[in-house]
Amino acid sequence: MSLRSGSARSRILSVMPTVAVVCGSRSDLATLKGCFEVLDGYGIEWEASVISAHRQPEALRAYVAEADAAGVQLFIGAAGLAAHLPGVLASLTARPVIGIPLDGGSLGGADALYAVVQMPPGVPVATVAIGAAGAKNAGHLAARILALADPALASRVETFRADQASGAEPRIDPRAAS
């Protein structure tokens, strides 16, 4: 895992991780904590970058080209307000893009949800829920996509599902409740 911000041109790591997470502002990082934890839980290598689609469009283009060439398998884009970052990511790469609408704006994330989910045909963004729940699900969805070509990861996904099922509330009879 690694976190960085600023221009893609400053990158010095020689190996790209499997998943590249890009968000539009440093203020977005706290909401993405659950995403990073889920990816770590599955043992998926990731890095996160703060690159704004509207403030740093050239840096974003350069970063995606570099990540694509270096073998990143999947992008996760997270942004609030007008939230065009995931869509711009999908315009710059043929890899799958998962979009997380963030809830920082005065519309409670509905603005970002509409922006991320309403991509025109041909430029798909797999949109998850608003905010922290969506951040976690972005990690889980990334794992499921990557597991299609990774049997060991597929096994970890199944283990998670089994653990989740066994931890769920058992069926109860409300008539028996006192």
Binding site for ligand RP5 (CB under 6 A): 23-25, 27-28, 52, 79-81, 102, 104
Instruction: Tell me whether residue 55 or residue 161 sits nearer to ligand RP5 (CB atom).
Output: 55
User: Concatenated DSSP letters for 107-169?
Assistant: TTTHHHHHHHH-PPTTS--EE--SHHHHHHHHHHHHHHHHHTT-HHHHHHHHHHHHHHHHTSP
Instruction: Tell me whether residue 7 or residue 52 sits nearer to ligand RP5 (CB atom).
Output: 52
Residue 80 parent element (H or E): none
Instruction: Tell me whether residue 82 or residue 154 sits nearer to ligand RP5 (CB atom).
Output: 82
> From the CB of 62, what's the least distance to ligand RP5, in Å?
18
Q: Give the span between the Cα atoms of 11 and 4, in whole angstroms.
A: 9
> From the CB of 82, what's the least distance to ligand RP5, in Å?
7
Residue 104 near residue 81 (C-beta atoms within 8 A): yes
**Residue 167: partners with Cβ closer than 8 Å, 6 or more residues away:** none
> From the CB of 103, what's the least distance to ligand RP5, in Å?
9
> From the CB of 40, what's the least distance to ligand RP5, in Å?
22
Instruction: Tell me whether residue 106 or residue 166 sits nearer to ligand RP5 (CB atom).
Output: 106
**Residue 71: partners with Cβ closer than 8 Å, 6 or more residues away:** 16
